[in-house]
Chain A
Amino acid sequence: MLAAGILGSTASSLNWAGKSGAGAVVTKSFGLNPNKGYANPTTVEVTGGVINAIGLSNPGVENFKSELEKLNKSVPAVASLYGANPEEFSEIATRVEDLVDALELNISCPHAMGGCGSAIGQDPELTREIVKSVKKSVDIPVFVKLTPNVTDIIGIARSAADAGADALTMINSLGPGMRIDIETGNPILNNKFGGLSGPAVKPIAIRCIFEVYDSVDIPLIGVGGIRNYEDVIEFLYAGASCIQIGTSIMYDGMGIFGKIVTGLERFMDDKGYDSVSEMVGIAHK
């Protein structure tokens, strides 16, 4: 799947990802109202990835609906939503339910403003309330994207699962982190801090998936620093049923989806796997 927040702010780019081999696509997160996000620089590369503070920029649910209507549906589409409270989440969810195949609740953005993002995903009670509220409002599957920036990921995962989540996506970006220009002493990002993504976060994502796998009975969606099919196998072995790709598009472009599928198929042939499901959770045996 194409991960949330990478391209994905228009139907065109989501359709393009689908055409390029992504098995499903997740939109960039959107909220109730238009949001410009932070001023530039919003992104800077660091060793092992990127830190970003885009600030959840989006045109608001009403404008975004016109994008969702243009999805060609060649692959399933997942709408990523953000909000500050159960009512907001449920309202947005209801308004887009008919246009997508599933929802992913972004309660984990590390650079969100006004009580959105990881402020929610670090609070098991609020997480439970939001998931419950959205589940009550819609009939399509609801995924919940978790932040790794917690002391007890299992507790949060259980909260979301108990509240009715159909799957958990792990992990959102890490940190936040920071980069400073050494010539002038200026923090490079306008927001100073930004979420870390890319290969550097992969070991943490793998650990989160591994830890949560035994604690919940719902599928896990692995995301964090995947660059090749070998990385995908690690995620599957840790317990993910499927995976998302984001930052690596910067390194490899849209071709990465096709490349990974080919590599994974060859690996499965060599090892005698008939389906991906046989590979899920192997590291727990």
Chain B
Amino acid sequence: MQVPKVVEIKRIEEESPTVKTFIFDWKVDSEKPGQFMMVWNFKDEKPMSLSLIDKLKNEIGISIRNVGVFTEKIHKLQIGDKLGLRGPYGKGFDISGKKVLAVGGGIGMAPIIAYSEEASKMGVDVHIVSAANTMDELLFSDRIKRSGAKLLTCTDDGTHGFCGYGTDLAEKALSEEDYDMVVSCGPEIMMKKLFTMVEKYKISSQFSLERYMKCGMGLCGQCCVDDEGWRVCVEGPVFWQDEIRMITEFGRYKRDSSGQKHRI
């Protein structure tokens, strides 16, 4: 039944000055990295990627950057406060390949950390490009190290790791190492550039897209992308690169809650 399940916040991790992870008890069943939950604060409801899926402890987590009215309200919540969750929704990342480059930009690191923990557990050699504007905003570095994945950091201002954009560091990694899969989530401008690179290097890849969502269950059509009409909430949010090639709006525009287009 597609109905919010009300749960208490079990733990809150302060990931950076602007990002918090909210962790809940949840019977983990088919949840996959790359899938998302519709998060209801009893006023509004927004899609948020799973950033933690722990089958042993039966916990899930969502990581939220404080960027607006909704996220501000959620950031004020304390342990024991309640939220409504429904999901998981969408198609997650396919875990395949032997050596994977995972590229996460900003809060796009949320599904990337969930992916990296799961893939590392399954024996995949994961190298993560973690991109942020500044050192304090680099996310999940401890969890990445514990997972056994290799961490490559970069910051726009050069305060930590490589100085430059995630795509610059990804290009360096792609030219130096032999990857057989690339996965990514982050600003679409970044993913568009990365997509051009993987096409050049001829590496299989998966990208997680974000579009305005209402129902989350494949009915309202708000998140459909041109030209195939695919629903980001059902056929996505993770798309393979051959699908991305057919999403003509990728990196170009997206629609708002009324359906009007805006340039990316």
Contact = CB atoms under 8 A, between A and B. Distances in A.
Interface stretch (A54-62, A89-97, A146-154, A273-281): A54-62
Contact of B219 (A14, A50, A58, A59): A50
B260 A59 contact: yes
B40 A41 contact: yes
A64 B260 CA distance: 9
Interface string B1-33: 111101000000000000000000000000000
Given A7-B221, A28-B221, A14 B229 contact: yes
Contacts of A64: 259
Nearest to A14: B229
B215 A52 contact: yes
B44 interface: yes
Given A10-B224, A13-B224, A63 B259 contact: yes
Interface residues of B, number: 39
Contacts of B227: 12, 15
Classify the interface of chain B: helix, strand, loop or mixed. loop
B159 interface: no
Interface string B210-240: 0000111111111011111111001000000
Interface stretch (A105-113, A177-185, A204-212, A222-230): A177-185
Given A39-B44, A183-B82, A12 B219 contact: no
Contacts of B4: 41, 44, 181, 188
Given A12-B224, A16-B228, A41-B45, A34 B219 contact: no
Interface in A33-76: 34-37, 39-45, 50, 52, 54, 57-60, 63-64
B84 interface: yes
Contacts of A169: none
Given A57-B258, A181-B6, A190-B44, A250 B218 contact: yes
Report the 6 A-B pairs with minimum CB-CB distance, sorted nearest first.
A16-B229, A7-B221, A12-B229, A13-B229, A45-B2, A40-B45
Interface of B: 1-4, 6, 38, 40, 42-46, 82, 84, 214-222, 224-231, 234, 255-261
